[in-house]
Amino acid sequence: MTYTGLEKLAPLVREINWTHNLVILQRCKDNDELQRFGGGSGETKMKSVEHSMTFVVLQPVSRVFPLFSPEGEKHWVPGWDYENVMDTKELSEDYVFLTKSHDHAAAEAIWLVKRYRPDAHCVEFYKVEPGDKVGVVKVCCEALADKHTQVAVTYRYIALSETGEAFVSGFTAEAYREFITEWQRLLSDYFVAFG
């Protein structure tokens, strides 16, 4: 299998290193699935949706930001787990991990750290679901007065198939608001329980 002739996949491929391209190639069962991942020959119109929301956590940024990593999410997201395919648990750019099921109807996803700026308290992930959709997830934290933290979360999904398009159509602003409000509640509960 190769990316040859998959025009819509080329921009994504150029943004990630070759090792991560190999992970995607290995996860696709055949060229048909790879072609669906890439949006085919242009016959399928790709659809996308993007939502952003901010909320405040009553904790300092130094305690909040580390929770937005594969290891950190184990502390506050019920049922969160991941498969570590790297030699370390320390987050960095180009870090790769896998999930079997997690938010937004994902059966299996390949996550790649697109940008990681711990000094700016910002992380951005690609969430690749071959044959379905690609997500770009960005979380940035900002220190506020009184040791509070503002968390800004952006999710962008690009459909790669009819199933992905159905998801994108249903991923409304209201659904996103409920999703991120749940994040805020879970983080608040975590800090109440564990200080």
Express each pLDDT in 81-131 by its tens digit.
999 999 899 999 999 999 987 666 667 899 999 999 999 999 999 999 988
pTM for the model stands at 0.77
Going from the C-alpha of 58 to that of each of 183, 189, 190, the distances in angstroms are 14, 11, 11
Q: Residue 1 above 90 pLDDT?
A: no
Stated as kind and residue range, the H or E segment containing 54 is: strand 48-57
Q: Is residue 152 part of a domain?
A: yes
Cβ-proximal residues to 64 (8 Å cutoff; 6+ apart), any chain: 57, 141, 149, 151, 187
Look over the chain and give the mean of its residue pLDDT values, rounded to a whole number: 84
Q: Is residue 53 part of a domain?
A: yes
Range of the domain at 165: 46-194
Q: Residue 41 above 80 pLDDT?
A: no
Q: Is residue 27 part of a domain?
A: no
Over range 119-144, report the average pLDDT: 96
Q: Is residue 8 part of a domain?
A: no
Q: Report the CATH number at residue 69.
A: 3.30.530.20
Q: Is residue 52 part of a domain?
A: yes
Q: Is residue 26 part of a domain?
A: no
Task: State the Cα–Cα distance between residues 28 and 33, nearest whole angstrom.
Answer: 6
Task: State the Cα–Cα distance between residues 54 and 56, nearest whole angstrom.
Answer: 7
pLDDT in tens, 61-85: 999 999 999 999 999 999 899 999 9
Predicted confidence band of residue 187 (pLDDT cuts 50, 70, 90): very high
Q: Is residue 177 part of a domain?
A: yes
pLDDT for 108 equals: 87
Total number of domains in the chain: 1
Q: Is residue 162 part of a domain?
A: yes
